[in-house]
């Protein structure tokens, strides 16, 4: 049985992009593997964020994950800052991580361009990510393509630490890259992301889903209803492939190519299918929202289970790194 670790930002309720790209797969993985799923609030604070909303967005994310099928009897679901060993290990890993490696990370370069003064937390983000994974000695990390470089760095950090402090201590985890291609946002321009505002939330009401889909970008060649289109270049068609039955997907492609219907007709069918797929999740979320204490209890129990593993790893890490009192601290 593999040990799986994966993290998600506390960005509030799940949207279609992170559901299809990550969480749907988590729900499958938890059936076969030992899974640790973490809401990474320490990562969230490396960029501008709303202090007043962070806690509620963390709770909303947990509610969404549980409603989407994360089962606390199978997987360990917890909040990163509730297990302080994450940051302790990250600090120790900074001592074996070359700055040059961090500076060449694509995500760092992109995000640093947007910061007037680049903060150390942003640069060290992948070190904390390495600590997240290795704290649990996870061997499998489901990620999107944009995170593969960070997993390679995690492997390198594990190698460097092992070479200095104990061969074979940390495994070199493998990235399990999502087979769902990047889910594009409703603007058809960028990856679906809350910060861009081009998402559909999985808990949104059917009418809201429709209102969000109506103005979404389609094939620009379809200027009028009589202009034929090319479904393969239209994001709405790609969403149909995730939410509509096979016969409907075929019908969508045919009617698009032959101008057999308008884009609004096409979006209407998609809106109905998205609403139908998420109906059970919406219902479960409504029950959890009525009892937020249940979600808090699940997160507290998850953190407790995570801490057992994390503390065990850190006890051995401190010992191997020769920290004063490490052996004495370890005694019961
Ligand atoms: S008919 Fe559908 S698939 Fe074709 S361009 Fe319009 S929205 Fe896209």
Q: What is the pLDDT of residues 80-92, one digit of tens each?
A: 999 999 999 999 9
Contact 8, 144 (CB under 8 A): no
Helices and strands (DSSP H and E) totals, the chain? 16, 5
* pLDDT value, residue 85: 98
In the block, tokens 């808090």 appear at: 296
The answer to whether residue 57 scores a pLDDT higher than 60 is: yes
pLDDT value at 329 more than 80: no
Nearest to 314 by CA among 88, 79, 5: 88
Pocket lined around ligand 1, Cβ cut-off 6 Å: 218-219, 222, 229, 231, 234, 236-237, 252, 256, 263, 266-267
User: Residue 191 catalytic?
Assistant: yes
The DSSP H or E segment spanning 75 is none
328 pLDDT band, cuts 50/70/90, is: confident
Q: How far is the CA of 237 from the centre of ligand 1 (A)?
A: 6
How confident is residue 181, by pLDDT bands cut at 50, 70 and 90?
low
- Per the CB < 8 A criterion, the answer to whether 174 and 140 are in contact is yes
Tell me the pLDDT band of 27, cut-offs 50, 70 and 90: very high
Predicted local confidence at residue 67, as pLDDT: 98
**Mean predicted confidence (pLDDT) in 265-273:** 98
Q: Residue 215 burial (CB < 10 Å; 0-12/13-18/19+)?
A: exposed
Q: How far apart are CA 21 and CA 6, in angstroms?
A: 12
User: How high is the pLDDT of residue 189?
Assistant: 86
Length of the chain counted residue by residue? 332
The active-site residue out of 181, 194, 255, 289 is 194
Range from 23-37, 94-108, 287-301, 316-330 carrying the lowest mean pLDDT: 316-330
Tell me, what's the pLDDT at 116? 84
Expressed in angstroms and rounded, the spacing between residue 263 Cα and the centre of ligand 1 is: 5
Q: In what order do the strands lie in the sheet with 76-79?
A: 76-79, 34-39, 3-8, 140-143, 174-177
100 burial level (CB within 10 Å; 0-12, 13-18, 19+) = exposed
Paired tokens of 105: 């990370």
296-311: b (≥16 Cβ within 10 Å) or e: eebbeebbebbbebbe
Q: What is the pLDDT of residue 146?
A: 85
Question: What is the pLDDT, as a whole number, of residue 83?
Answer: 98
How much is the average pLDDT of 142-160?
Answer: 94
How far is the C-alpha of 101 from the C-alpha of 108, rounded, in Å?
Answer: 11
Q: Which atom of ligand 1 is the closest one to the Cα of 261?
A: 1
Residue from 210, 266, 269, 271 whose mutation best tests the ligand 1 pocket (most atoms within 8 A of CB)? 266
> Among 216, 234, 241, which residue has the most ligand 1 atoms within 8 Å of its CB, making it the best to mutate?
234
Q: Which of 148, 170, 136, 143 is nearest to 36 (CA)?
A: 136
pLDDT given at position 193 = 87
CA distance 318 to 156: 20
CB-based contact 267:236 (threshold 8 Å): yes
pLDDT attached to residue 327: 74
Residues 6 or more apart whose Cβ sits within 8 Å of residue 126: 102, 105, 107, 108, 150, 153, 154
Distance CA 178, CA 19 (A): 11
Residues 289-297: contacts with CB under 8 Å, at least 24 apart: 289/63, 292/59, 292/63, 295/59, 295/62, 295/63, 295/66, 296/59
Query: Would you call 158 exposed, middle or buried from its count of C-beta atoms within 10 A (0-12, 13-18, 19+)?
Result: buried
């Amino acid at each position: 049985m593999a040990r799986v670790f994966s993290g998600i930002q506390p960005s509030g309720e799940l949207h279609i992009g992170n559901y299809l790209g990550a969480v749907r797969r988590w729900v499958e993985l938890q059936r076969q593997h030992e899974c640790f799923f973490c809401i990474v609030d320490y990562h969230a604070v490396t960029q501008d964020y709303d202090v007043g909303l962070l806690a509620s967005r963390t709770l909303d994310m947990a509610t969404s994950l549980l409603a989407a099928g994360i089962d606390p009897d199978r997987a360990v679901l917890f909040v990163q800052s509730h297990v302080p060993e994450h940051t302790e290990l990250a600090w120790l890993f900074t001592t074996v991580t070359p700055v040059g490696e961090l500076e060449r990370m694509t995500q760092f370069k992109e995000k640093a361009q947007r910061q007037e003064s680049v903060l150390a937390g942003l640069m060290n983000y992948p070190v904390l990510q390495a600590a997240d994974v290795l704290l649990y000695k996870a061997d499998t990390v489901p990620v999107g393509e944009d995170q593969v470089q960070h997993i390679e760095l995690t492997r390198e950090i594990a190698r460097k630490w092992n070479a200095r402090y104990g061969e074979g201590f940390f495994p070199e985890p493998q990235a399990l890259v999502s087979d769902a291609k990047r889910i594009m946002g409703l603007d058809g321009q960028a990856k679906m992301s809350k910060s861009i505002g081009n998402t559909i939330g999985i808990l949104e009401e059917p009418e809201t889903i429709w209102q969000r889909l109506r103005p979404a970008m389609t094939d620009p060649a379809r200027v009028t209803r009589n202009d034929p289109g090319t479904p393969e270049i239209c994001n709405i068609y790609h969403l149909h492939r995730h939410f509509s039955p096979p016969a409907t997907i075929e019908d969508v492609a045919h009617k698009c190519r032959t101008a057999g219907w308008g884009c609004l007709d096409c979006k209407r069918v998609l809106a109905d299918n998205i609403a139908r797929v998420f109906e059970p999740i919406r219902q479960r979320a409504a029950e959890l929202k009525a009892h937020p204490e249940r979600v808090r209890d699940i997160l507290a129990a998850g953190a407790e289970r995570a801490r057992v593993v994390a503390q065990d790893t850190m006890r051995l890490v401190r010992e191997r790194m020769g920290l004063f009192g490490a052996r004495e601290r370890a005694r019961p």
